[in-house]
Homo-oligomer: A and B are copies of this chain.
Amino acid sequence: MTDLDLLKQALEPDKRLVEEPMHTSPQWRGRVFGVDVMDVTQPDGRTGRRELVRHNGGCGVVAVRDDGRMCLVRQWRVALGRMTVEIPAGRIERGEDAADAAARELVEETGLVSTKPLEQVATSYGSPGFTDECTRIFYADQLEQGPARPDDDEFVGVLWADPAAVVQASLDGLVVDAKTIIGAYVATSRQRPC
């Protein structure tokens, strides 16, 4: 059995692990996410209570220039009370295709247009213990620069960095956004296939 087969087998539902939903109670609804509490039956028959954040998900783009540098945008993150540098990204609107949303966010935040279809390189759940929020990460290395058209709510600054430096900055705790760390490793592995 290959390792990939082993992983596929491990992802099949297993009654020794599955929790069965019994009752879901909505707790709070906002514009961006909602909160539910779900009562579940655990595999041993006992009852559990799970707190869940429901979110429509997001998308991001690893945009790599001809010189190998990747695009980052400076963000002020209210949730963290600090600046971050992140790959261009945003929320997926209800009903919107993930790749379309990624291309839209890319042009809105940076003015960059991919001249090839975006290639998905990861589906990333940041906190699967409590939320279904999923970030789809795309890769683009055929880019054309157009004008930036920031959203009313977005105030961003673009910079370009060597993916290996972004990886090093994640090891140093400077780059802390999950999708950006993943994107830097993806870009690095493409530049230097081992």
In the complex the two chains form, is A177's CB within 8 Å of B128's CB? yes
In the complex the two chains form, is A83's CB within 8 Å of B11's CB? yes
* Total identical chains: 2
Q: A10-35, CB under 8 A of B: which get 1 and which 0? A: 11111011110100000110111101
The answer to whether A106 has its CB under 8 Å from any CB of chain B is no
In the complex the two chains form, is A131's CB within 8 Å of B174's CB? no
In the complex the two chains form, is A161's CB within 8 Å of B7's CB? yes
* Cβ contacts under 8 Å, A52 to chain B: 78-79
Q: A105-136, CB under 8 A of B: which get 1 and which 0? A: 00000000000000011111111111111110
List which A168-187 residues lie within 8 A (CB) of chain B: 168-179, 181-182, 185-186
Q: Bound state CA distance, A120 and B6, in angstroms?
A: 28
